């Protein structure tokens, strides 16, 4: 039995199938994890979502910002953007079943057997494992409650930029969600800088990539994450395993196997995907 972790699929269904064939993935004995952003930008978000859900117990994933954006659009809290490519999900006969399944996925996952954490974007340096699990569960319970619409209505925005345990309601939810699903740069104290989206060398003064700071969690637990395609899978930190290699943007789709070396396998973006993402 092998456990594989794939980077941002973003609707690149054909590449995902090629990648799984390359590692001889067998859902009867293997498990696939997704680090979020299963949908959007690529051409086959509906097929991707249906496939991941169909794997049942052979699949586990965390939510990314594009997955949450899909929920916000589907529930009428946001209009589609010109670059969004998940329209087929919104009109699919199994739309509500798929959207309901997405709502059950967490923002953060820890696997004790492998001693690894899975998240879409990152973890602030001041949070330990217990805090990450508690705050992820808080958002999960909100998404599954009658406050889901209030959450999605207020999800967008860059403030508050720093965590404070006294935060309440939508501001608290937004701060937690931004850390787990949008973070790239932060200060040593965990203050977010969400405007800069390019590579690590472009860090604004006083900020650095989140994984370069002294971290409560990474001292003990490797973190697998996606979201930051500009890294192209490179962090120079053995405790921070970056898996988004920009498939939807003409790069590759990458997965790693969960063992001590995290060996990687990649496939190149197909021409059909590159055209669809432009």
- Name 243's Cβ contacts closer than 8 Å, sequence gap at least 6: 5, 6, 7, 8, 35, 224, 225, 226, 233, 254, 255, 256
What's the number of domains the chain is made of? 1
Q: Per-residue confidence at 28, pLDDT binned at 50, 70, 90?
A: very high
- Position 117 scores a pLDDT of 98
- Position 259 scores a pLDDT of 87
- Report the C-alpha gap between 65 and 145 in whole angstroms: 19
Query: 42-80 pLDDT, tens per residue?
Result: 999 999 999 999 999 999 999 999 999 999 999 999 999
- Position 18 scores a pLDDT of 98
Query: 181-190 pLDDT, tens per residue?
Result: 999 999 999 9
Local structure of 224: helix, strand or coil? strand
State mean pLDDT over 32-51: 98
Q: What is the DSSP letter of 66?
A: H
Tokens of 230: 């500009």
- Position 271 scores a pLDDT of 78
Domain that holds residue 9: 3-277
- Position 9 scores a pLDDT of 98
- Report the C-alpha gap between 92 and 81 in whole angstroms: 19
How distant, in Å, are the alpha carbons of 31, 59, 73, 119, 163 from that of 105?
A: 16, 11, 18, 11, 23
State mean pLDDT over 249-269: 95
Does the pLDDT value for residue 40 go beyond 60?
Answer: yes
Does the pLDDT value for residue 275 go beyond 80?
Answer: no
- Position 272 scores a pLDDT of 73
- Position 261 scores a pLDDT of 87
State mean pLDDT over 76-91: 96
Give the chain's mean pLDDT. 96
Query: 230-243 pLDDT, tens per residue?
Result: 999 999 999 999 99
Instruction: For residue 75, count other CB atoms closer than 10 A to its CB.
Output: 13
- Position 277 scores a pLDDT of 64
Does the pLDDT value for residue 169 go beyond 70?
Answer: yes
3-state helix, strand, coil in the chain (%, to 5): 35, 15, 50
Among 8-12, 231-235, 269-273, the minimum mean pLDDT is found in 269-273
- Position 41 scores a pLDDT of 96
Q: Percent of the chain having pLDDT more than 90?
A: 95
Does the pLDDT value for residue 154 go beyond 80?
Answer: yes
Q: Percent of the chain having pLDDT more than 70?
A: 98
Q: Per-residue confidence at 278, pLDDT binned at 50, 70, 90?
A: low
Does the pLDDT value for residue 273 go beyond 70?
Answer: yes
Report the CATH number at residue 188: 3.60.21.10
Q: Which residues of 159-172 are buried (b: 16+ CB within 10 A; e: fewer)?
A: eeeebeeeeeebeb
């Amino acid at each position: 039995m092998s456990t594989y972790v794939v980077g941002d699929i973003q609707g690149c269904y054909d590449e995902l199938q090629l990648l799984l064939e390359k590692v001889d993935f067998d859902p009867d004995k293997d498990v696939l994890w997704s680090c979020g952003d299963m949908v959007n930008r690529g051409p086959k978000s509906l097929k991707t979502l249906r496939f991941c859900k169909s794997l049942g117990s052979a699949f586990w994933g965390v939510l990314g910002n594009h997955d949450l954006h899909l929920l916000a659009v589907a529930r009428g809290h946001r209009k589609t953007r010109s670059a969004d490519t998940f329209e087929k999900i919104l009109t699919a006969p199994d739309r509500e079943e798929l959207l309901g399944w997405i709502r059950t996925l967490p923002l953060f996952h820890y696997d004790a057997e492998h001693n690894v954490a899975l998240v879409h974007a990152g973890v602030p340096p001041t949070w330990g494992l217990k805090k990450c699990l508690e705050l992820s569960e808080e958002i999960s319970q909100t998404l599954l409650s009658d406050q889901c619409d209030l959450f999605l209505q207020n999800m967008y925005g860059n403030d508050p930029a720093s965590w404070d345990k006294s935060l309440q309601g939508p501001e608290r939810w937004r701060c937690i969600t931004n850390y787990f699903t949008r973070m790239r740069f932060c200060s040593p104290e965990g203050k977010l800088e969400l405007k800069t989206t390019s590579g690590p060398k472009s860090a604004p003064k006083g900020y650095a990539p989140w994984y370069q700071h002294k971290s409560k969690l990474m001292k003990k637990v490797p973190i697998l994450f996606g979201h930051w395609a500009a890294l192209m899978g490179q962090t120079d930190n053995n405790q921070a395993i970056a898996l988004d290699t920009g498939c939807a943007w003409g790069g590759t789709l990458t997965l790693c196997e969960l063992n001590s070396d995290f060996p990687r396998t990649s496939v190149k973006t197909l021409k059909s995907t590159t055209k669809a993402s432009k």
